[in-house]
Amino acid sequence: MSELSEETLRWAAGAVGGGVRVAAVAGLREDANPWLLRFEPAGRAEAAVLRLGDPDDPDHCLRFGTEVAALRIAGDHRLPAARLIAADLDGAEAGALAVLTTVLPGDSKIPPVASAERLRDLGAAAAALQAVPLTPRAALPLRTRSIADVDFAARRREKGTTALLTAAEERLDRLPAPEGPTVFVHGDLWHGNTLWSGDRCTGLVDWDCAGAGSAGIDLGGARFDAALMFGLPAAGHVLEGWQRAAGRRADRLAYWDVVAATCTLADMAFCVPVLRDQGRPDLDAGVLGERRDAFLSAALARLDADER
């Protein structure tokens, strides 16, 4: 949605309460949705983040329901997430699907180089989620991989694939999914969905892929993202941070790394626009493809070793 209606702005101000009004609006992703709202007078709440969706789009409805359910669980367990102020999950009051949250400190711009401390803190953020047991439910269904609502395999069949990705798919098809208890998962844990103050992760955002699943989903996703952003050795620092925070070794690491790397298309150009928006114009499709293949090849080799 490119513009905010007066109805939506009134709903947001009313949800904050205290007689505030929206004084300023700024788009947070490519100068658009979600929106940063600033209020006057600022005594009750200086600012809030407003995410909008189309109530006539079933996919939007599912995603917003998941986001709200996830934020409530994150709040109950004091996880690094914004606090939910209000939600309109049918658009009856706000004129659109709407989720209004507090503003987390920090910045989501991705640096060209990441310290080991930063990468370990990303792993620790993923480990915080795995400490929350969760059984699947309607708004937080069972997840078996990141970005579960996108069928990457089908898109590769349509747009083309590579021998390496095909081998990875075939390998996963032959393996049973790991069993074990399900925990709270973010479901799209990459640097663009994190906020930072220096090398400290101050919060996770965009919870619309959340659900119940293996802790390996978020760990593999974070490791894969680190390898894409900063090179293969970065994934090792993420693992260090996760294991240190979790107090245990990660299970089935190679399997979940392969799962994470197959949540892509053969041509990594689809990632480039959002990475440019996040401050990484240096990452083109060629670099991303090489780093994806290096991570995936290493994961498949470790999977071979695990099965011997």
Residue 137, Cβ density class (10 Å: 0-12 exposed, 13-18 middle, ≥19 buried): exposed
Q: What average pLDDT does the segment 203-218 reach?
A: 97
Q: Which of 213, 139, 144 is nearest to 181 (CA)?
A: 213
**52 strand-pairing partners:** 98
Q: Which of 117, 126, 105 is nearest to 49 (CA)?
A: 105
DSSP annotation of 31 reads T
Q: What average pLDDT does the segment 212-239 reach?
A: 98
In the chain, the N- to C-terminal Cα span, in Å, equals 52
Instruction: Give the gyration radius of the chain's Cα atoms.
Output: 20
More confident: 33 or 136: 136
5-12 long-range contacts (CB < 8 A, ≥24 apart) are: 5/95, 5/96, 7/94, 7/95, 8/50, 8/52, 8/94, 8/95, 8/96, 8/98, 9/37, 11/86, 11/88, 11/93, 11/94, 11/95, 11/98, 12/37, 12/48, 12/50, 12/86, 12/94, 12/98, 12/100
82: pLDDT strictly greater than 60: yes
Residue 45 has phi, psi (to 5 degrees) of: -155, 120
Contacts of 160 (CB under 8 A, 6+ apart): 266, 267
pLDDT of residue 1: 38
Average pLDDT, the chain: 94
Q: What average pLDDT does the segment 65-83 reach?
A: 97
Q: How much is the pTM? A: 0.93
pLDDT of residue 32: 84
pLDDT of residue 28: 83
pLDDT in tens, 241-300: 999 999 999 999 999 999 999 999 999 999 999 999 999 999 999 999 999 999 999 999
pLDDT in tens, 96-125: 999 999 999 999 999 999 999 999 999 999
Q: Residue type for 104, please? A: L
User: Rounded CA gap, 167 and 165, in Å?
Assistant: 5
